[in-house]
Amino acid sequence: MLETREIYRNFPLVMQLAFYAIAFLAIAIFLYGFYRKYKKYKQGRDANRFNNLFSRFMKAAAIMGKNSTVFKRDKYAGYAHWLIFWGFIVLLIGTALVALDHDFLRFLDIHLLQGTFYLWFSLTLDVFGALFIVGLVMMMLRRVVQKLPQLDYSRPDLAQEKYSRKGYSTDDKIFLWLLLLVAITGFVIEGFRISADGMPPFEKWSPVGWTIAGMISSMSTDTANSFHMYSWWFHAVMVMFFIAYIPYSKAIHMLIDYANLMFIDEMAAKKLPGVTEEQQDKNMGYVELSDFTWKELMDFDACTKCGRCHVACPANAAGTSLSPRDIILDLRTFTNENSKEFFNQTFTTPQKEGCSIAGDVISADRLWSCTTCMACVEACPVGIEHLTSIVNLRRALVEEGDMEDSLQDALANIGDYGNSFGQSERNRAKWTSKLDFKIKDVRKEAAEFMWFVGDFASYDAGIQELTLKVATVMNKIGVDFGLLFDGEKNSGNDIRRVGEEGLYEMLAEDNIETFSSAKFKEIFTTDPHSYNTIKNEYPEFGGEYSIFHYTGLLLRLHEEGKLNFTKKLNYKVTYHDPCYLGRYNGETEAPRKLLEAMGVELVEMPRNKENSFCCGAGGGRVWMDDSKMEARPSEIRIKEAISLGNADHFIVCCPKDYSMFSDAVKTTGNEDKMVVKDIIQLVEEAIS
């Protein structure tokens, strides 16, 4: 008996034609749905994502093939998704080969699915089909048994919001069960076919089908043929329903997510987009749906509701109303509800009827809760850039004056005095009077390094002690550095992330102008926030500089033999990665190598490096009220450090971190268990 199988086994011509009619209808429904998506994205503003297309294509292919972003935060989900992904891909290729062989090549008297090729074809599809089912069952068990918080879409704190989360999980269940039904019925068909054919020995190459056929071997040939026909049609209709269903459901992520990963901006969040001239003519922030870029509109559809951003978000953990996942999903719902259909698809303008996106669709409270820590962007496996949407919606709130008084006061102080403390510019370097040596003014005297100190390190009485230690250590090891003194202004990093773009641009331009008249080769800063914006955002205003975070500079000096540690420190410490140093800029090793060189024993917290947990001060939150939080992010982090049980020093390298965590140790009653120190304090001790 020839090793092959008949595609339309015992089917009359009319039945075959009926199948093709259903198939073409399903494809037409799919194409219509996909066209709707395309037209929706076309309504968005331009986003320059078409550079290096081949490189983008290959990088996205590598991510998808390895499932690397899915594995990153959840190994179990990674393995399950890998089985589903590759099972689906192999089954899809197998189906395409069947169509190619039967609908095209046979008319050229070419037959692929025969002999040895057919045997290996059968084995491969059975193996990957079984793995596909295993992956689906793993995902189902994950939802039912593990009951993970990221998969809980209920938000009682948002019960009054227009866009509730009811039904979010229904689509997930339909998606999983439909795929499982398709996979299982595929094997059932195979079993009935093999049984009806009398179980020819070569069909052992279809191990799953062969096993099922063995279980029903007592069934008569006529009965097996009848069940084969009925199950074949059930399977075919389910497959065609799935194809038609794709653009209207979670299943669209199979296509959209590849495109979203392909068009990702590697600088997303690190370098926020400015306000275009076109936007300035209308408004500074996002007011209308057409203000979003096509990539941001694609982000909304790309979301798979996996909830990784939801559980990574410090504001959500603190009990605020913010969930990055729900913001994206609510924007998706709102966008879909307010876009017209088919060939003339354009966005309607519900805001003209009194509906504001920033304020009504996404409440101001949710937007202002964001610390802009970038955890959502880093955790997302499909390349969603939450922060650009959040900040642009904040810009609309700023333009309307919809913000806390304390934030408004801080912005006013920065506009008037160049710092958030509302103090005179002349007081910025007042702390230097406590030193027994003179620091250069780089506006007048050349120095190798310019130290950009930042507001907190300059004005906050609790931080100035650390600032003095940095100056003392740098002077002791012979670093040639200077300051801008009263010429320095707030770097603007948090101002931009608050949404006050106009003030940010003024600060950036003023600082760059001052830099241009100063005499230095490189910059270092103790403030990760300033480090980020000077490194990543000032270049768009013409300011390109070589800049170090002070831990990176100290490590370089140590490796060059200019910084020697003469005293071994026998502390057991845990280290907190600042968001703007570790997650934003990937600098996680310099602080650790310094700690290692000083002899301390480092005990890592579960969330570390790029996965670090925010202190809660970023994005302007340091100027806002946090009294309504169930637990401040800084307090959550301190409790995490205490739970290690074998570290008594909490090490930081950011002025805001030092302030936030020093306070959190007190408010959590852990002053006798944990001491907060900046790395510079350890360095000073190790060189004394």
Whether the CA torsion 292, 296, 300, 301 is positive or negative: it is: positive
CB atoms < 10 A from the CB of 448, how many? Answer: 14
Query: Among 185-199, 280-294, 414-428, 658-672, whose mean pLDDT is lowest?
Result: 280-294
Reported as a pLDDT band with limits 50, 70 and 90, residue 343 is very low
Rounded-to-integer distance, Cα 383 and Cα 309, Å: 11
Burial degree of 218 (CB within 10 A; 0-12, 13-18, 19+): exposed
Residue 621 has pLDDT above 80, yes or no: yes
Reported as a pLDDT band with limits 50, 70 and 90, residue 353 is low
End-to-end C-alpha distance for the chain, whole angstroms: 88
Q: What 3-state DSSP class applies to 345?
A: coil
Q: What is the mean pLDDT of residues 532-559?
A: 98
Helix axes 75-103, 115-141, angle to 10 degrees: 150
- Neighbouring-strand partners of residue 522: 449
- Of 555, 263, 497, 235, residue with least CA distance to 372: 497
Domain with residues 417-559, CATH architecture: 3-Layer(aba) Sandwich (3.40)
Rounded-to-integer distance, Cα 143 and Cα 587, Å: 35
Which structure tokens are listed for 72?
Answer: 């990153």
CB atoms < 10 A from the CB of 557, how many? Answer: 16
- Report the percentage of the chain scoring pLDDT > 90: 89
Q: What is the mean pLDDT of residues 401-423?
A: 97
Model pLDDT, residue 348: 54
Reported as a pLDDT band with limits 50, 70 and 90, residue 346 is low
Rounded-to-integer distance, Cα 678 and Cα 43, Å: 49
Which structure tokens are listed for 219?
Answer: 């069934």
One-letter identity of residue 196 = A
Model pLDDT, residue 495: 98
Specify the length of the chain in residues. 688
Residue 285 near residue 395, CB atoms below 8 Å: yes
Q: What 3-state DSSP class applies to 575?
A: strand
Which structure tokens are listed for 625?
Answer: 């009220």
One-letter identity of residue 245 = Y
- Of 443, 315, 427, residue with least CA distance to 368: 315
CA torsion, ordered 199, 200, 206, 207, to nearest 10 deg: 60
Model pLDDT, residue 349: 52
Residue 355 has pLDDT above 70, yes or no: no
Q: What is the mean pLDDT of residues 503-528?
A: 98
Q: What is the mean pLDDT of residues 650-673?
A: 97
Residue 28 has pLDDT above 80, yes or no: yes
Residue 538 has pLDDT above 50, yes or no: yes
Nearest 5°: the CA angle 98, 11, 211 is 65
Residue 165 has pLDDT above 60, yes or no: no
Q: What is the mean pLDDT of residues 657-665?
A: 98
Instruction: Please indicate whether the domains covering 417-559 and 572-687 agree at the CATH topology level.
Output: yes
- Cα separations (Å) of 36 from 28, 222, 302, 341? 12, 46, 15, 7
Rounded-to-integer distance, Cα 18 and Cα 16, Å: 5
Reported as a pLDDT band with limits 50, 70 and 90, residue 352 is very low
Q: 668: which DSSP letter?
A: T
Q: Which residues contact 487 (CB under 8 A, 6 or more apart)?
A: 443, 514, 518
CATH superfamily of 272-400: Alpha-helical ferredoxin (1.10.1060.10)
Model pLDDT, residue 152: 84
Reported as a pLDDT band with limits 50, 70 and 90, residue 101 is very high
DSSP string covering 350-414: GGGGT--TBTTTB-HHHHHT-----HHHHH-TT---HHHHHHHHHHHHHHHT-S-HHHHHHHHHH
Q: What 3-state DSSP class applies to 12?
A: coil
Residue 312 near residue 153, CB atoms below 8 Å: no
Rounded-to-integer distance, Cα 504 and Cα 337, Å: 35
- Of 372, 375, 362, residue with least CA distance to 321: 362
Residue 648 has pLDDT above 50, yes or no: yes
DSSP E strands, 40-136: none
Element (H, E) at 441: strand 440-441
Rounded-to-integer distance, Cα 576 and Cα 638, Å: 10
**Tokens 């980020």, residue?**
532
Residue 350 has pLDDT above 60, yes or no: no
- Of 357, 191, 194, 239, residue with least CA distance to 290: 357
**Tokens 């360095």, residue?**
683
Chain centroid, CA 22 distance in Å: 39
| Domain ranges for the chain | 23-33+51-152+167-261, 272-400, 417-559, 572-687
Residue 302 near residue 260, CB atoms below 8 Å: yes
Q: What 3-state DSSP class applies to 536?
A: helix
Rounded-to-integer distance, Cα 60 and Cα 382, Å: 10
Q: 299: which DSSP letter?
A: H
- Neighbouring-strand partners of residue 293: 45
Helix, strand and coil content of the chain, in percent to the nearest 5, comes to 60, 5, 35
- Of 95, 182, 183, 63, residue with least CA distance to 132: 183
pLDDT digits (tens, 9 = 90+) for 435-451: 999 999 999 999 999 99
Whether the CA torsion 60, 61, 67, 68 is positive or negative: it is: negative
Which structure tokens are listed for 648?
Answer: 């008594």
Model pLDDT, residue 160: 47
CATH class of 572-687: alpha beta
- Cα separations (Å) of 121 from 83, 102, 105, 124, 383? 18, 15, 17, 5, 35
Helix axes 655-667, 633-642, angle to 10 degrees: 70
Mean pLDDT of the chain: 94
Domain with residues 23-33+51-152+167-261, CATH architecture: Up-down Bundle (1.20)
Model pLDDT, residue 688: 80
